[in-house]
Amino acid sequence: MTAIHLPYSALTVRAGAGARDTLRRDGLSPAMVSTLPGAAGGPKAVGMTGLDQAVFGWLAQAPRERELVGASIGAWRFACALQDAPAAALARLAERYTVETYPADSTVASITRQTEAMLVDVLGEDGFARLLNHPHYRLTLLLVRAHGLLASEQRLVQLGGLALAASLNAASRRLTRHAFSRVLCHHPASALDFVPDDGLPTERVVLDAANLRAALMGTVAIPLVLSGVDLPGAPTGRFRDGGLTDYHIDFPFARRDGITLYPHFTERIVPGWFDKFLPWRRHNEANQHNTVLIAPSREYLARLPLGRLPDRGDFKRFAGRDAERIKAWWQSTAESQRLGDAFLELVEKQRLGDVASPL
């Protein structure tokens, strides 16, 4: 598809040093892509639909084994991409998320039930097995095992646990090991050559039919919003959203051969959720040496109905005015086709090396 001509660039492209050299020398073909991270970000995924559809359609031109590593909504985006008709599944995710509404008296239990129903509606009862038997993609879902106060389902106790975790993280990211253990729920054939050694305890759990649904729910289990899960095959505990430790997944993907292609919400890689409040907390450049990050440009975002991608706070901002929120989100989904068109034009004309700036 030829990109619609715009008076501005819809995409920002950033790349690690090794990736920039590769783009300038060889361009980028789908066969070169070995890894894709998928960040936490909730409804921001709605505004990325067209880009995801374009990326996975392009990758299908050169089937090969690829690692997909997702936290929270990033994991759900990848679950859609593994379906027989990925573009349709990604569209269902955007549609289903957009039309969700939450009454004023919603509880953590009721929101959890709604979220699980959304997952089943998006993937279908037969879609879960595809995540384990896809011929080319190896999916890893990121969760955390909560420690101490954050293992509780009581709201005030959780609030205390979050405050403690934020304080520990502000002192040192490594100290969050007292609040969480990172959990990698991975395809049994995953190479796992991207596992970080950053001082956070990391547990590995093999995905199977017994724990797959729990893992998909656990990776989106935001504290105070959704209930944590029990995870068959893992140590006893309460498991929650993997974005808490790995918000934008700053893993050592450079250990892997090939390019890491990162369709992202923003041009910044924030290591953990609490780090978004700490502008000095940055990604490890060595981890992203071979990463090509593509994100909506500031000019593109400024022209969206909300001046940004949808976010979870919109449910409160538009309380009692769901029709307004839904309209804005629909428009963001429709506009995201421009992101996909822009990506396809860049790779077709081999211009990524010309436009990529340092990551």
Cα 225 to Cα 166, 185, 245, distances in angstroms: 18, 22, 17
Measured between alpha carbons, how far is 61 from 148 in angstroms, rounded to an integer? 47
Instruction: Give the total number of structural domains in the chain.
Output: 1
Q: Is residue 199 a part of any domain in this protein?
A: yes
Long-range contacts of 153-158 (CB under 8 A, 24+ apart): 153/108, 153/227, 153/228, 153/238, 155/108, 155/224, 158/223, 158/224
**pLDDT tier at 68 (50, 70, 90 boundaries)?**
very high
- Is 349 inside any structural domain? no
Computed over its alpha carbons, how large is the radius of gyration of the chain? 19
| 2: in domain | no
> What mean pLDDT comes out for the span 314-321?
94
Tokens of 124: 């279908």
Is pLDDT of 1 > 60? no
In the block, tokens 């709604």 appear at 114
- Judged against a pLDDT cut of 70, whether residue 6 lies above it is answered with no
- Going by their DSSP bridges, the two strands 137-146 and 66-71 should be labelled as parallel
Q: Does residue 291 belong to any structural domain of this protein?
A: yes
Q: Give the mean model confidence (pLDDT) for residues 200-215.
A: 97
Q: Find the mean pLDDT for residues 7-32.
A: 95
User: Could you tell me if residue 214 is inside a domain?
Assistant: yes
Amino acid in the structure at residue 168? L
Dihedral sign of CA atoms 149, 153, 155, 156 in order: negative
Residue type, 93: L
Task: Return the pLDDT at 5.
Answer: 57
Dist. CA 254–CA 10, nearest whole Å: 27
Q: Which residues pair with 138 in a beta bridge?
A: 67
Span 217-227, average pLDDT: 97
| Domain assignment of residue 59, given as a range | 11-339
pLDDT band at 3 (very low <50, low <70, confident <90, very high): very low
Question: What is the per-residue pLDDT across 116-175, written as a single tens digit (0 to 9) for each?
Answer: 999 999 999 899 999 999 999 999 999 999 999 999 999 999 999 999 999 999 999 999
Average pLDDT, the chain: 96
Q: Strand locations in the chain, DSSP E? A: 11-15, 33-38, 66-71, 137-146, 180-186, 202-206, 238-241, 259-263, 291-296, 357-358
What is the pTM for the complete model shown? 0.95
Domain membership flag for residue 353: no
On the question of pLDDT at 73 being above 80, the answer is yes
Q: Apex CA 324: angle with CA 322 and CA 327, to 5°?
A: 105
Is the confidence at residue 105, as pLDDT, over 80? yes
Give the pLDDT confidence score for residue 2 in this predicted structure. Answer: 43
In a domain, 215, yes or no: yes
Question: Bridge-partner residues for 260, per DSSP?
Answer: 35, 291
Residue 352 counted as domain residue: no
